[in-house]
């Protein structure tokens, strides 16, 4: 199973459409959103447009606090753990307050409990886990966990931003925070920012419309995680993701059809792709996005026209659930070649 397949199942479309097709999901709420395409520097729109969107992003970064509750613990974090059932100064089998550092293996060591795996947990989840473990020693234990020192996290920002590079984070941050830290978008930026994340289920991709981010940060702003790569493609790019061999952004240096765009991405993963549900997501009139559904096999058989790709298009080749099951499970137990449509 290749690394990018994890998000190409049921959750993939929700992520793609939530951030790109903002007006579709906001419904009536989009009626008040700015509809002028000049607000977004899609084709080197000039310094005024860049200043406008950067100002909105910087304001969103200030107004949208990072969700510390969503922070995932990891190596080198320092935690303060308090057992509120134990009075201050009382000597017993375990202290009221403990300060511990998460090891490189993602564990902490506590009196009575020994080694505890905490990597990937939120503080709320760890509190719940500790209450269960302390229950054998204390009556209705009340446990508090606070992060005293956040581990150093690396997040890369690349593409058309003022200061691309690797940023060291010492606490929870959001997408708007990182774009501001990277100096905002440049005059050569297109209309999107992409987040690439390697999660437990494989490669995850988020495509976020910059205009939607600037005008609706409460909806599409999101926490960044250690290891994330943020990319602001140049104007005149298109994006291909899903069941293709080399997903990513590509320059629209000449006219490309859909099949040529897919070929630029290395071609489809034939054992996974759902040819009949290929989609082109294309923004129209500011925040509005159009979904163009095509059958790739009909195009290849000359039964349907091969549509031209436009700048800022997002092409998605989804995974067939049946094919994924066959590739993931049946293929592993040696039943030979099976074809699913």
157, 188: one domain: yes
User: Does some domain include residue 338?
Assistant: no
Q: Which of 23-37, 181-195, 303-317 has the lowest mean pLDDT?
A: 23-37
38, 144: one domain: no
Helix-strand-coil percent breakdown of the chain, rounded to 5?
30, 30, 40
Q: Contact, 231 vs 164, CB < 8 A?
A: no
Question: Which tens digits make up the pLDDT trace of 79-135?
Answer: 999 999 887 766 677 888 999 999 999 999 999 999 999 998 989 999 999 999 999
Q: Can you tell me which residue has the tokens 């800022």?
A: 312
Structurally, the chain folds into a number of domains equal to 2
164, 144: one domain: no
User: Does some domain include residue 15?
Assistant: yes
Rounded-to-integer distance, Cα 245 and Cα 268, Å: 6
Question: Which tens digits make up the pLDDT trace of 196-226?
Answer: 998 766 778 888 888 888 877 777 888 898 8
Last residue of a domain, one of 117, 149, 181: 149
Return the pLDDT at 202.
72
264, 182: one domain: yes
User: Residue 340's closest CA among 271, 294, 255, 287?
Assistant: 271
Last residue of a domain, one of 129, 149, 169: 149
Return the pLDDT at 70.
66
Instruction: Say whether 241 sits in a helix, a strand or coil.
Output: strand
Last residue of a domain, one of 106, 124, 149: 149
Domain containing 50: what range? 3-68+153-333
Question: Which tens digits make up the pLDDT trace of 150-199?
Answer: 876 789 999 999 999 999 877 788 898 899 899 999 988 988 899 999 87
Given a cut of 70, whether residue 73 has pLDDT beyond it is yes
Given a cut of 50, whether residue 20 has pLDDT beyond it is no
Question: Which tens digits make up the pLDDT trace of 258-297?
Answer: 999 999 999 999 888 899 999 998 877 655 678 899 999 9
Given a cut of 70, whether residue 253 has pLDDT beyond it is yes
**Across the chain, what does the average pLDDT equal?**
77
Rounded-to-integer distance, Cα 233 and Cα 238, Å: 9
**Structure-derived torsion over alpha carbons of residues 245, 248, 252, 256, reported in degrees to the nearest 10:** 30
User: Residue 322's closest CA among 300, 294, 341?
Assistant: 341
CB atoms near residue 279 (< 10 Å):
18
């Amino acid at each position: 199973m290749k690394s990018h397949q994890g998000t190409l199942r049921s959750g993939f479309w929700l992520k793609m459409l939530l951030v790109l097709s903002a007006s579709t999901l906001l419904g009536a709420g989009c009626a008040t959103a700015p509809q002028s395409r000049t607000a977004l520097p899609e084709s080197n729109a000039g310094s005024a447009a860049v200043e406008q969107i950067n100002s909105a992003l910087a304001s969103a970064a200030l107004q949208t606090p990072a969700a510390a509750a969503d922070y995932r613990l990891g190596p080198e974090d320092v935690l303060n753990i308090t057992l509120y059932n134990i009075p201050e100064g009382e000597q017993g089998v375990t202290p009221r307050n403990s300060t511990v550092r998460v090891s490189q293996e993602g564990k902490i060591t506590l009196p009575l409990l020994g080694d505890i795996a905490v990597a990937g947990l939120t503080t709320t989840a760890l509190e719940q886990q500790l209450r269960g473990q302390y229950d054998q020693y204390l009556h209705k234990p009340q446990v508090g966990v606070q992060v005293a020192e956040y581990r150093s996290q690396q997040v890369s920002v690349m593409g058309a931003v003022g200061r691309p590079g690797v940023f060291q984070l010492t606490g929870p941050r959001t997408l708007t925070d990182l774009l501001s830290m990277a100096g905002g978008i440049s005059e050569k930026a297109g209309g999107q920012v992409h987040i690439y994340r390697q999660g437990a289920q494989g490669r995850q991709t988020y495509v976020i419309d910059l205009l939607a981010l600037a005008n609706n940060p409460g909806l599409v702003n999101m926490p960044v995680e250690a290891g994330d790569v943020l990319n602001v493609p140049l104007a005149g790019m298109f994006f291909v993701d899903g069941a293709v061999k080399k997903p990513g952004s590509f320059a629209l240096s000449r006219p490309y059809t859909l099949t040529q765009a897919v070929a630029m991405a290395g071609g489809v993963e034939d054992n996974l792709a759902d040819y009949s549900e290929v989609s082109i997501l294309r923004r129209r009139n500011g925040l509005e996005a159009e979904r163009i559904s095509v059958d790739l096999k009909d195009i290849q058989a000359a039964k349907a026209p091969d549509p031209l790709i436009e700048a800022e298009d997002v092409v998605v080749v989804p995974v067939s659930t049946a094919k994924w099951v066959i590739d993931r499970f049946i293929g592993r137990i040696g039943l030979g070649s099976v074809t699913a449509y």
